[in-house]
């Protein structure tokens, strides 16, 4: 390029910088974002036509006159209008800019006016061809280059005399293309960022709504689950009883229950459903309800659990199962009859000799298969004997060194504090497990039941 071309290009870029400010302010208007989102109303289309038509007029006034021809960015407004708003917006803006250029006169006014009108129309057609989406930065820049080339060709065809038109085109071709390409690049860059920004906001809002909905669902599920756990500890003559369940998530799969069988018999149970979260909580509620319904009609232990297992296997439950310890405490005879279906053996501390007895019957988890036979056992409960029922969230709690709390720690804790009231011992066990696993997330639900014969 010669010095004149460089000067022209510099002047045009200076004008483009002004348009950049306009572009930034424009892309922040709600009418622009509505059009960008495809919400084409008569109101916002008319506003966009007027705004981009005004930008086109500014492009004419900000141009540089060479031998009666105006080197400018007049076509930029209609091009952007069509690429974001379709043919109506593009053509409307082009008509405003084109008709204004026609009033300015000059031997190139016809091709220049026609080029501006067609710029908006062609841009709108591209918008429709791209399924009413903006074509992106480089697509828009390429379009502006082709359109300005078309503009120069029209000038050569329609302007007269040809020799003067050729001279104007030779001087303006590169500055016009570069100026409009730079202007389009800046506009397209802002539009693309705005599209990404709005897409991110929509995704964020969608995710936020999903999280809020999930939070509400979890709160409801938590309330439902809590309603299935006992709210009070029953009074059992000559016995001190306490229990708690702390889920690892908002809802969990552990449960415990006290089932009134008769005036002198109480069902004591603790269970652990496979998995976590809402599916485990729902299966827990199903298992606990089924167990209570069966127990209230059947004072037995072994055959009742067999019936529960068969019923669970008849229902579709996504291969979930439950470990269960179920027992009936006869407070008049001080005997505990129990079945252990794959659950952690409860620990019975004999007061007389300090020995630990693990209450296990070799049973298989419920839900594994139909037709399981359960073995029940009966033990005596002597004065000051202490029974601790728990789920694996206690013994399998892991500290930062990846060591498990383990059964031996639990046994030592029970022996060292065997004279504590049941409620205090329950709290001590939970606090000790939390202290042990401090700094690591709770991996599993923690459920504890403590029973002591006081007399």
What are the residue ranges spanned by the domains of the chain? Answer: 3-202, 223-453
pLDDT at residue 267, rounded to an integer = 93
In this structure, are residues 339 and 302 in contact, taking their beta carbons and an 8 Å threshold?
A: yes
pLDDT score for 415: 96
pLDDT of residue 16: 63
pLDDT tens-place values along the chain, 455 residues long = 456 556 656 665 666 677 677 777 887 788 888 888 888 899 999 999 999 999 899 888 776 555 445 567 899 999 999 999 999 999 999 999 999 999 988 888 899 999 999 999 999 999 999 999 999 999 999 999 999 999 999 999 999 899 888 988 888 888 888 888 888 998 899 899 888 888 888 889 888 888 888 778 777 767 766 777 888 999 999 999 999 998 877 667 788 999 999 889 999 999 998 877 677 777 888 888 888 888 877 667 988 999 899 888 886 655 778 999 999 999 999 999 999 999 999 999 999 999 999 999 888 899 888 888 899 999 999 999 999 999 999 999 999 999 999 999 999 999 999 999 999 999 999 999 999 999 888 888 899 999 999 98
Residue position matching structure tokens 């359109």? 147
Which helix (H) or strand (E) segment holds residue 90: the answer is helix 87-103
330 phi and psi, to 5 degrees? -95, 100
Q: Which residues pair with 336 in a beta bridge?
A: 329, 379
Structure tokens at 76: 């930029």
Q: What's the first-to-final CA gap in the chain, in angstroms? A: 108
* Nearest by Cα to 225 from 274, 268, 289: 289
pLDDT given at position 147 = 95
What is the model's pLDDT at position 293?
Answer: 85
- Rounded CA-CA distance 268/338 in Å is 9
Cis peptide before 185 (omega within 30 of 0): no
Rounded to 10 degrees, the C-alpha dihedral 419/421/427/428 comes to -10
Rounded CA separation 385/83 (Å):
84
3-state SS, residue 453: strand
pLDDT of residue 370: 86
Strands (E), 322-418: 322-330, 335-341, 347-349, 356-358, 377-380, 386-390
Q: What is the reported pTM? A: 0.60
Query: What percent of the residues of the chain are helix, what percent strand, and what percent coil, each to the nearest 5?
Result: 55, 15, 30
CA 18 – CA 25 distance, rounded (Å): 11
Quick one: 196 exposed, middle or buried, by C-beta within 10 A (0-12, 13-18, 19+)? exposed
**Phi, then psi, of 240 in degrees rounded to 5:** -115, 120
Determine whether domain 223-453 maps to CATH 3.60.40.10.
Answer: yes
DSSP 260: E
If one counts every other C-beta atom within 10 angstroms of the C-beta of residue 152, the result is 20
Count of other CB atoms within 10 angstroms of residue 11: 17
Contact (CB, 8 A) for 160 and 133? no
- Count of alpha carbons within 13 Å of 449, Cβ hemisphere only? 26
Is the sign of the CA dihedral 429, 430, 436, 437 positive or negative?
positive
Please classify residue 351 by burial: count the beta carbons closer than 10 Å to its beta carbon, then call 0-12 exposed, 13-18 middle and 19+ buried.
middle
Nearest Cα to Cα of residue 140 among 201, 197, 75, 202: 75
CB 245 within 8 A of CB 394: no
- Give the DSSP H or E segment for 265: strand 265-273
In contact, 116 and 98? CB cutoff 8 Å: yes
Here the tokens at position 61 are 């006034």
Q: How far apart are CA 186 and CA 174, in angstroms?
A: 18
CATH hierarchy code of domain 3-202: 1.10.1760.20
């Amino acid at each position: 390029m010669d010095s004149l071309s460089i000067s022209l290009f510099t002047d045009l870029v200076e004008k483009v910088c002004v348009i950049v400010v306009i572009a930034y302010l424009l892309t922040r208007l709600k009418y622009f974002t509505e059009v960008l989102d495809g919400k084409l109303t008569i109101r916002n289309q008319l506003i966009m036509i007027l705004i981009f038509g005004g930008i086109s007029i500014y492009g004419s006034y900000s141009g540089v006159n060479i031998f009666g021809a105006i080197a400018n960015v007049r076509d930029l407004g209609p091009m952007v209008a069509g690429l974001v708003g379709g043919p109506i917006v593009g053509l409307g803006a082009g008509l405003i800019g084109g008709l204004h250029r026609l009033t300015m006169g000059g031997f190139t006014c016809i091709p220049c006016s026609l080029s501006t009108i067609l710029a908006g129309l062609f841009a709108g057609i591209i918008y429709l061809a791209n399924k009413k989406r903006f074509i992106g930065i480089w697509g828009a820049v390429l379009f502006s280059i082709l359109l300005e080339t078309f503009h120069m060709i029209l000038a050569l065809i329609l302007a007269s005399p040809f020799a003067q038109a050729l001279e104007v085109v030779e001087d303006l071709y590169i500055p016009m293309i570069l100026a409009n390409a730079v202007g389009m690049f800046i506009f397209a860059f802002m539009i693309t960022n705005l599209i990404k920004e709005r897409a991110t906001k929509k995704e964020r809002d969608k995710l936020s709504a999903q999280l809020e909905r999930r939070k509400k669902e979890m709160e409801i599920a938590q309330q439902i689950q809590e309603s299935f756990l006992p709210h009070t500890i029953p009074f059992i003559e000559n016995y001190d009883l306490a229990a708690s369940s702390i889920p690892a998530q908002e809802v969990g799969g552990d449960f415990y229950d006290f089932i009134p069988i008769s005036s002198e018999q109480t069902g004591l149970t603790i269970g652990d459903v496979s998995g976590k979260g809402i599916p485990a909580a729902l299966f827990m509620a199903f298992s606990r309800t089924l167990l209570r319904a069966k127990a209230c009609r059947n004072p037995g232990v072994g055959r009742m659990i067999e019936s529960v297992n068969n019923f669970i296997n008849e229902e579709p439950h996504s291969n979930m199962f439950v470990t269960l310890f179920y027992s009936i405490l006869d407070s008049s005879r001080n005997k505990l009859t129990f079945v252990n279906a794959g659950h952690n053996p409860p620990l019975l501390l004999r007061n007389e000799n300090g020995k630990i007895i693990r209450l296990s019957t070799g049973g298989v988890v419920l839900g594994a298969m139909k037709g399981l036979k359960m073995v029940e056992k009966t033990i005596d409960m002597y004065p000051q004997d202490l029974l601790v029922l728990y789920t694996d969230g206690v013994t399998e709690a892991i500290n930062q060194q990846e060591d498990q709390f383990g059964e031996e720690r639990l046994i030592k804790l029970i022996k060292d504090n065997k004279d504590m009231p049941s409620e205090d011992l329950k709290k001590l066990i939970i606090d000790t497990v939390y202290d042990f696993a401090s700094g690591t997330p709770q991996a599993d639900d923690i459920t504890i039941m403590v029973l002591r014969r006081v007399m």
